[in-house]
Amino acid sequence: MINAVNALSVLLIDDDDVALEAVQRSLHKYNVMCPVYTACDGLEGLDILRETHPSKKIPKPFLVLLDLNMPRMNGFEFLNELRSDPLLRETVVFVLTTSNNDADRNKAYNENIAGYMVKSAVGPQFQKLALLLEHFSQAVVLP
């Protein structure tokens, strides 16, 4: 279980309210007690990470769970902007998407993501995602 001592914040960037809710429920169900912050698209995600959002802030250490298909700024545009920002380029990003397309997966890995997860493959109620975050937070030291 992620506890207050090794707390890891998660920024979940997804325009699908059902997916946002499902991820949050899954983390709670499997006792992954990390704070989850949400953004509806890449633009809002960048504002949060750059600390320019008027009301949302995310404490360090954090990682990003990123959907690819979103309005205004999609996941690929977000990754391109993130990796070109000297203050954010090393941000740990896991893609969590509905796309099982090889081209999307290759393009995402070319942007130095930590992992690519297809929503339908992470198990019932996002169980595998919850376990990944729990083990990741215990094994990795983030800046």
Write the CB contacts of 53 (distance below 8 Å, at least 6 apart in sequence): 44, 47
Which of 53 and 6 is assigned the larger pLDDT? 53
- How much is the pLDDT for 6? 54
Q: CA nearest 115: which of 103, 129, 130?
A: 129
Q: What is the mean pLDDT of residues 121-141?
A: 82
- How much is the pLDDT for 142? 79
Q: How far apart are CA 11 and CA 104, in angstroms?
A: 21
Tokens for 61, please give them.
Answer: 């250490």
Adjacent-strand bridge partners of 11: 37, 64
As its CATH architecture, domain 9-139 has 3-Layer(aba) Sandwich (3.40)
Q: What is the mean pLDDT of residues 115-132?
A: 83
Give yes or no for a contact between 13 and 136, defined as CB atoms under 8 angstroms apart.
Answer: no
